[in-house]
Structure 1
């Protein structure tokens, strides 16, 4: 077997997948169970590996025809994948449903990325059966905070960091959010530009008032990092304000997911490496690798999006959004990891 681009230890591990044999000590429990009944390959197999890094941990995706093997280093271990050529019926990707919280930090130069208000709160879910969703949380939602008391939902990160933000979102929504990924404004622009922009169809022209009236025209285009950030942050010129901004953020995330799906799983290590240079996360390499690969299994027709809304109100001198029936209905709909 040939495995182009793989270090020796990874090449040996992938060869053992196709040759047969016990993988109990060389794979996660779920991946080993999925591969236990595989039928070894009978002919030559040519595979290609791409190696990257997630928060300092080596990660790899190996493709061979329609097969995909996900591995984590430095002592290489198989953590998931799908192997139709070996007769493995279902992908092994950590099960489902699963949810991850994407956070956009409002940190300015010199401020800590993980201790400023969350400008973006988007819950990304997959159901493990080809469906998923992206749910935005209006940042002015007035909710019980994991750090104690009540406040605007995006204040949880200021008081207790991203873990407190995850705990707050999980308690409010009832969804067992697995962990978080967080980026600041400069990091977001850098990741988008390094990945070649985001192809998207803009429903209507937006003038980003906070970005020196940058015009983002309606229609199909590929947004640069600067344009994508402006589109995701604009609210003052939108008829529904912060709700519209949250909707735009969901659109950008879904457009990025579609681009990733078209690029194929082999592009995952590069994207994770790019994020790791500027972002933060409490997800392990195994968690993020299987979750990212799970996004490649999505059927675009089975992926929905929504924004948790509410009525406007006041808490002292603060303008707030009060959770209502619409938001609670949305949370219930997302409990299977699917909003389509």
Structure 2
């Protein structure tokens, strides 16, 4: 297991930063009300500036006030959120805060901040708002409600070219992102030439599963290879990745060593900078000029995810709905709004000293007339280390 690169590690520690380890939360600070929810059928008008919960649709504001008044939330909360809030101590003061809203695959999502409290809510199309998680120290709720135990999601990058189906080509990027639910987290890259049993049958390079059976087949293959009960996937292509990065203002990062991205005909300079979508994609895809080839490429992809996490942490949880809206436009996923929102929010509770990254590697070999990476002890030890959702 590899520790964080020192410059990036210092930045994370210095800002207490580790948020979502994918480009999904690399958003800029959001304004109290975002237009995405208003244009997607939000329930009732948003409250006006100066009202108790700025930016919240009337129905959502009423639901949040019920949290603080101690009322029974009933169907207004998920099972886990309702259980966490059951023993809360009601507040006897007016509730003031802000809300940001967005969308995820047709559903509305919201983050409501009241002091140090954060409430996460979703509303399926034509349904009412429902609290699905959050943390409420002001109400003496001791632990965050963000799903129980370790959780993992795999971030997939497709190498689809124009005219090709996004989930019927090879997976150019395979990064497993996890948290342990106790402040620990990790990002694990998978060398795309790992020779493993495929969920579609037989053996092959791990990234071939998607070309043969789609994103679900790729997810099942990664689950089987790692032994991790990965919750779901988020898949994005080259064009979508660039657009997400650019629409979210780029990725600030410290590049430890200059990279000649030969395939993109550009050089990514050493040092602190903000990468555009094209630059970030070039950094994530280059392997031919790297001394460790595909292993180095996977390492670079992990560095980008951690850099996006730093930016997200600095923006705060309020930026999540805007970023989810952006990613939702370009990504394919099997994660619903509740899963994605609570998974993303987990990273705001991570202790940077309990987070790390690694790349599943192996020795080079030969099978079926092609060069492969043999799944060996290094990768198996890494998988075992990640079973608690933590790579620190």
Which bracket does the TM-score occupy, shorter chain normalised?
over 0.9
How does the TM-score come out when normalised to structure 1? 0.98
Q: Please state if 1:201 is matched with 2:254.
A: yes
Q: Please state if 1:135 is matched with 2:185.
A: no
* Residue 176 (structure 1) shift: 0.2
Q: Distance in 2 between matches of 1:12 and 1:316?
A: 62
What is aligned with 2:25?
A: none
Given candidates 170, 193, 207, the residue that maps to 1:117 is 170
After superposition, the C-alpha distances for 1:27-81 in whole angstroms (9 at most, x for unaligned) are 0111000001111111122110111000111111100111000000141000000
After superposition, the C-alpha distances for 1:225-255 in whole angstroms (9 at most, x for unaligned) are 1111100000001000000000000000111
SS at match of 1:134: strand
Given candidates 167, 189, 193, the residue that maps to 2:242 is 189
Given candidates 185, 209, 229, the residue that maps to 1:156 is 209
Q: Please state if 1:38 is matched with 2:80.
A: no
What is aligned with 1:281?
A: 333
What is aligned with 1:179?
A: 232
- Aligned-residue CA RMSD in angstroms? 0.8
Deviates more, 1:119-128 or 1:156-165: 156-165
Q: Distance in 2 between matches of 1:182 and 1:316?
A: 28
After superposition, the C-alpha distances for 1:298-339 in whole angstroms (9 at most, x for unaligned) are 122211000000010111221100000000000000000000
What is aligned with 2:344?
A: 292
Q: Distance in 1 between matches of 2:353 and 2:251?
A: 19
Given candidates 274, 285, 307, the residue that maps to 1:233 is 285
- How do 1:244-323 and structure 2 match up within 5 A? 244-323=296-375
* Residue 145 (structure 1) shift: 0.2
* Residue 132 (structure 1) shift: 0.3
SS at match of 1:45: coil
What is aligned with 1:71?
A: 121
What is aligned with 2:101?
A: 51
Q: Distance in 2 between matches of 1:96 and 1:235?
A: 35
Q: Distance in 1 between matches of 2:138 and 2:102?
A: 25
What is aligned with 2:112?
A: 62
Q: Distance in 2 between matches of 1:13 and 1:314?
A: 60
* Residue 24 (structure 1) shift: 2.7
Given candidates 106, 110, 128, the residue that maps to 2:159 is 106
Q: Distance in 1 between matches of 2:368 and 2:155?
A: 29
Deviates more, 1:23-32 or 1:281-290: 23-32
- How do 1:5-24 and structure 2 match up within 5 A? 5-24=55-74
Count, aligned residues: 339
* Residue 96 (structure 1) shift: 2.2
Structure 2, gaps ≥5 residues long = 1-50
Deviates more, 1:137-146 or 1:3-12: 3-12
How does the TM-score come out when normalised to structure 2? 0.85
* Residue 296 (structure 1) shift: 1.3
Structure 1, gaps ≥5 residues long = none
